[in-house]
Amino acid sequence: MDIIHLEPNSDGVVEWPTLSDEKRAVVTIGNFDGVHKGHQAVLNRARALAEQYDVPSVAITFDPRPSVVHSYAASHDGEQLAEYADEFAVMSLNHRLELIEQAGFDYALVVRYTLEFAARTYIFFLGQLVGKLGMRTLVLGMDATMGKGREGNIGAIAKLSAATGVFELDVVDDCGPSGVFVPRTLEYAVPQNDGEPHNPMTGMTKAELRAWTKKHNSVATRAYSSSMIRFLLARGCMHDAAEILGRPHSIDAVVEHGAARGRGLGFPTANCGQIDGFVPVDGVYAGYVTVLGEDGASREHYAAAISVGTNSTFSETSRSVEAYCVDVPDSEFNLYDARVRVEFTDYLRPMRTFESADALVEQMACDVERVRELNV
C-alpha cells in the first residue's frame, strides 16, 4: 500500500495526487480510530467494490483527529493546533495504517487536519475528489459527516450524487446494536474486585438503564464507536472492548530506562514511554509484548504481565505502563529503545499498596502464573 501524506495550504486546499491516468477510484473517508468492526465493514465494502470495478481502492484519513483540532480551537480563541499528544486516540496512526493495509487497500492518504481545511464545504471537498483524485464511488458509514459545519451528512451527499451523476454513493451499516450510551465526559472507574469486569449496562432493565444514563449524564452512541471503546477501556472491560475492535486493544511505545526496581525484585520490566494509543484504567493485566521492526513488522512476541498506574508500595506518584515478559531469561531481556506493541487481553486485578517488597514479589508471582494460564 502506498501511503501519501498531504498538507492543506493556507486556504485549506489539498493538492490531491493523480493515482491513475486510466482508472477512477473507489474512495472511503474517515478517522478510522481503532479500526473497529464498524470501520472494518466500511473498509471491506470499499475494497470489494474496487476489486469488482478493477480500480484503485483509496482510504482517506486525518491526523490529528478532527475532534482534537476543534477542541483546542474552542479553548484557545480559535487558534490552530500545532504540536500535540493525543492521549485519547484509541490507537497510533501507524497502527491505523497497518490495519488499513491489511484490509487490502492500494492507497492511504493522510490529510493533516486544519481549521482552514475544515472550513471548506463538503461540495468543494467532494468536487476535488472527483476532479483531482478521480473518485467514481464514495463508500461511507451511516452517520458520516464532512465539510464546513458538518453539513455534508449522508442525505446531503446522496442528493449531490443524484444531482450531478459524477460519483456514486455507497452507504454501509457500520453502527452495530442500538440502545448504547456513554457518559458525555470520559470517566475512569477502577474495578473494585479481581478478575475481568464487564460493561455496567449489560443486563440492565430499561428503568435501570434510564437511571444509569441520567446519573452519568450519558448520550446515545453507536455500539461500534471509538467513544464506546474508550468508555470500556476506562473501566477495564478488555473483553467487551475486544468484541468491538475485533481484536485485543493495544498501544505502541518505546522501551525506556526506568528505576530498574523490577529487575531488583526478580521481575525485569519494559518501561513504556512515548506511548501512542489509549492507556486503559489502572490495574494489572495479562497480555503480550511484540517487538516491532523498523518497518513496523512484528519480531519477537512474548506473553506479559502488564501494570498500569502508580507504584504506591514505593511511594511513586507518576502513572506508568510496565510489562514483564513471562519466561524470558534475565540475560536475554534487553528491549531498551525498542519499539513495542503492548496488547491487553485480560484485566487481572486493581493496583494495590503492599506492606513490604516481599509481599509485592509474592503477588507478582501469582500474577505471572495467571498470565501463563491465560496466554502461554
DSSP string, 269-319: -EEEEEEES---SSEEEEEEEEEE-TTS-EEEEEEEEEEEE--GGGT--S-
Whether residue 191 is predicted with pLDDT greater than 90 in this model: the reply is yes
What percent of the chain shows pLDDT beyond 90?
72
pLDDT at 132: 93
Residue 305 near residue 324 (C-beta atoms within 8 A): yes
Mean pLDDT lowest among 129-143, 312-326, 357-371: 312-326
| Grid cell listed for 278 | 489509549
Tell me how far CA of residue 134 lies from CA of 55, 98, 118, in angstroms.
10, 24, 21
Mean pLDDT score of the chain: 91
**268 or 345, which is more confident:** 345
Structure-derived torsion over alpha carbons of residues 201, 203, 207, 211, reported in degrees to the nearest 10:
-20
Q: Residue 266, CB half-sphere, CA atoms under 13 Å: how many?
A: 9
Domain with CATH 3.40.50.620 in the chain: 2-172
State the first-to-last Cα distance of the chain, in angstroms, to the nearest integer: 33
Mean pLDDT in residue range 16-20: 92
Residue 272 near residue 323 (C-beta atoms within 8 A): yes
pLDDT at 297: 64
Residues β-bridged to residue 8: none
- Alpha carbon distance 147, 294 (integer Å): 36
pLDDT at 62: 97
- Alpha carbon distance 366, 255 (integer Å): 24
Q: What is the band of 360 on the pLDDT scale with cuts at 50, 70, 90?
A: confident
> 234, 236, 372: which is closest to 304 by C-alpha?
372
Domain with CATH 2.40.30.30 in the chain: 249-375
227-257 confidence digits (pLDDT tens): 999 999 999 999 999 999 999 999 999 998 8
Q: What is the band of 315 on the pLDDT scale with cuts at 50, 70, 90?
A: low
328-351 confidence digits (pLDDT tens): 877 666 788 899 999 999 999 999
CA 274 to chain centre: 16
Best CATH choice for the domain 249-375 from the list 3.40.50.2000, 2.40.30.30, 1.10.10.10, 3.30.460.20: 2.40.30.30
> 110, 136, 146, 142: which is closest to 6 by C-alpha?
110
Q: What is the band of 21 on the pLDDT scale with cuts at 50, 70, 90?
A: confident
Whether residue 173 is predicted with pLDDT greater than 80 in this model: the reply is yes
Mean pLDDT lowest among 78-82, 91-95, 120-124, 182-186: 78-82
Q: What is the band of 316 on the pLDDT scale with cuts at 50, 70, 90?
A: low
**175 or 265, which is more confident:** 175
Question: φ, ψ for residue 119 (rounded to 5)?
Answer: -80, -10
| Grid cell listed for 288 | 503480550
pLDDT at 50: 98
| Grid cell listed for 316 | 511513586
pLDDT at 165: 97
| Grid cell listed for 81 | 493546533
Q: What is the band of 376 on the pLDDT scale with cuts at 50, 70, 90?
A: low
pLDDT at 277: 96
| Grid cell listed for 270 | 519494559
pTM: 0.92
What percent of the chain shows pLDDT beyond 70?
94
Q: What is the band of 319 on the pLDDT scale with cuts at 50, 70, 90?
A: confident
194-229 confidence digits (pLDDT tens): 999 999 888 888 899 899 999 999 998 989 999 999
Q: Which CATH architecture has domain 2-172?
A: 3-Layer(aba) Sandwich (3.40)
- Alpha carbon distance 312, 354 (integer Å): 8
36-61 confidence digits (pLDDT tens): 999 999 999 999 999 999 999 999 99
Buried b (16+ CB within 10 A) or exposed e, 255-265: beebeebbeee
Counting Cβ atoms within 10 Å, is residue 10 exposed (0-12), middle (13-18) or buried (19+)?
exposed
Q: What is the band of 264 on the pLDDT scale with cuts at 50, 70, 90?
A: low
pLDDT at 284: 97
Cis peptide before 64 (omega within 30 of 0): yes
- Alpha carbon distance 60, 129 (integer Å): 10
User: What SS3 class is residue 214?
Assistant: helix
- Alpha carbon distance 340, 131 (integer Å): 41
pLDDT at 310: 80
Q: What is the band of 298 on the pLDDT scale with cuts at 50, 70, 90?
A: low
Tell me how far CA of residue 104 lies from CA of 25, 94, 140, 175, 245, in angstroms.
14, 16, 17, 22, 18
Residues β-bridged to residue 196: none
